[in-house]
Amino acid sequence: MRLFVAVDPPVEAVQELVDAMAPLREMPGADRLRWTGVDGWHLTLAFLGEVPVLDVPGLEEVLGRAATENGAHRLRLAGGGCFGDRVLWAGVEGETWALRRLAEAVREGVGELGIETDQYGFHPHLTLARAGSRHGRRRAEQRSAPGELQAMAAGLEGFAGREWEAGELHLMRSDLGFGPARYERLHTWPLARWEAP
């Protein structure tokens, strides 16, 4: 199974971002991007790739432990940026230190099982669009022109959504067949809740 571990924003936060993104989809170069659907908007803590079904129970145990050892925290979707001329993303603000700590716990735990995660450092974001097409257009047509993604990211500069609580950790499955990727939650764990002293 192709798996990843994520925290998901609530519906209200997603809708705010949908509204903020609407003008971006009218900008030059927007038609050359592969825009992600809202069902694909996850704060991915670790991408695990193909995992044998027999390894899933051990993985669930590790993730359950990470959830009980890390607390719920407050986040907001805010701003945007791009990874070179390939990916447009929305940013995350708030208690990102807690989100990073959760990502580290997840990555360490799955590493103990011998499951490799992606090689990139954790950068909290939601992927909004990718350059290129899955439909075989010529390579020159797939790339965004220099500055197009940066202009779209600048269009999100003033965006700051409402604060929300990240209170659950999800083990997700993605299926990449024909058409857009499909996502399924395999298991959800509540994050710990500690009372102030």
- Report the sign of the C-alpha dihedral through residues 20, 10, 75, 39, in that order: negative
Q: Would you place residue 136 in the very low, low, confident or very high pLDDT band (cuts 50, 70, 90)? A: very low
101 HSE (CA, 13 A, CB side): 12
Q: Would you place residue 160 in the very low, low, confident or very high pLDDT band (cuts 50, 70, 90)? A: very high
Q: Would you place residue 194 in the very low, low, confident or very high pLDDT band (cuts 50, 70, 90)? A: low
Alpha-carbon distance 119 to 10, whole Å?
Answer: 28
Q: Are 41 and 77 in contact (CB under 8 A)?
A: no
Distance of CA 74 to the CA centre of its chain: 16
Domain assignments of the chain as residue spans, ordered by start: 2-190
Q: What's 2-190's CATH class?
A: alpha beta
Alpha-carbon distance 42 to 99, whole Å?
Answer: 13
- For 170-182, the pLDDT digits (tens) are 999 998 766 667 8
User: 103: buried, middle or exposed (CB in 10 Å: 19+, 13-18, 0-12)?
Assistant: buried
> Cβ neighbours of residue 18 under 8 Å, at least 6 residues apart?
38
Q: Say which range, 24-38, 71-85, 178-192, has the weakest mean pLDDT.
A: 178-192
Q: Collapsing DSSP states into helix, strand and coil, what is residue 78?
A: strand
For 140, phi and psi rounded to 5 degrees? -60, -30
- For 84-129, the pLDDT digits (tens) are 888 999 999 999 999 999 999 999 999 898 888 876 778 899 999 9
Indicate whether 140 pLDDT > 50: no
What tokens does 76 get? 């907001």
- For 34-73, the pLDDT digits (tens) are 999 898 899 999 999 899 899 999 999 999 999 999 999 9
User: 54: buried, middle or exposed (CB in 10 Å: 19+, 13-18, 0-12)?
Assistant: exposed
Q: Would you place residue 139 in the very low, low, confident or very high pLDDT band (cuts 50, 70, 90)? A: very low
Rounded to 5°, the CA angle 13-125-104 comes to 115
What tokens does 146 get? 């220099």
DSSP-assigned beta bridge partners for residue 77 = 92
Alpha-carbon distance 97 to 73, whole Å?
Answer: 9
Rounded mean pLDDT, 6-15: 96
Predicted local confidence at residue 68, as pLDDT: 96
